Structure 1
Amino acid sequence: MQEKEYLGSCHCGNVQFKVVTDAPELTTCDCSICIRKNALMVKVHESKFQLIKGEGSLTEYQFHTKIARHFFCNVCGIYPFHRKRVSPDFFGINVYCLEDFSTEGIPVRATIGAGML
C-alpha cells in the first residue's frame, strides 16, 4: 500500500486529526484496556500525525507503568489514538476513526499486551 493521508475524528467531531500511513499492518492488543475498547490500530510516527482540532476536548488516561498515553474525547467518549508505550515516538491510531480507510487486504497482527511488564 502506498502512503496516503487520512482524516480522522472522534464521533462528535470535536477531536480531528490527520495521519499519513502506508498501513503495512494493523494490530490488536490483549491488554486490559485494549480488550475492552476493541480497537484496530495502525502505528504512525509522530511526524506523520497532526492534531487539527480538539486538544481541549481530549482526556488522557494512563495506567500500569503510566508510559502509554491513551486519549479519549471528553464529549462523546471515543478513543481515537494513543501514544505508544514501547515506542513513545509513535501513535497507535484507531483505524475505525479514519475516513475512507479500508482494512481489506491489510494483515492483522495480534500483540500480547497483557504480559508486558
Structure 2
Amino acid sequence: MSISEYRFHTKTAVYYFCQTCGISPYHRPRCDPENQMSVNFRCIDSDTIESFTIEPVDGKNWE
C-alpha cells in the first residue's frame, strides 16, 4: 500500500489515501490536527474493532 496525503481549502486537515485502491484509512481533522486522528473503521479487522470504545460525536457542535 502506498499512502499519499491530500489537503484542500485551508490546508489544515490532512487526508491520507491509498494510491493503489483509493481508500482513505485515516485523516487528521481541521479542528486539532496535531492531537487528533480519525480512523476509517472499514480498514480494521473486525476482531480488532471489538477492543475499541466508540464515543459518539455531536456533529452539529464539533468545532
TM-score by length of 2: 0.70
- Residue 81 of structure 1 pairs with residue 26 of structure 2: yes
**5+ residue gaps, structure 2:** none
- The 4+ residue runs of structure 1 with deviation greater than 6 A are none
- Cα distance 1:107–1:92, how it changes in 2: closer, same or farther (>3 A)? closer
Deviation at 1:108, TM superposition (A): 3.8
- After TM superposition, the structure 1 = structure 2 runs for residues 5-44 of structure 1, keeping only pairs within 5 Å, are 14=1
Alpha-carbon deviation of 1:107? Answer: 5.5
Task: State the partner residue of 2:39.
Answer: 93
Aligned length: 57
CA RMSD of aligned residues (A): 2.3
Identity %: 38
* Greater relative contact order (CA < 8 Å, ≥ 6 in sequence): 1
Measure the CA separation in 1 of the matches of 2:55 and 2:13: 24
Instruction: Point out the structure with the larger helix share.
Output: 2
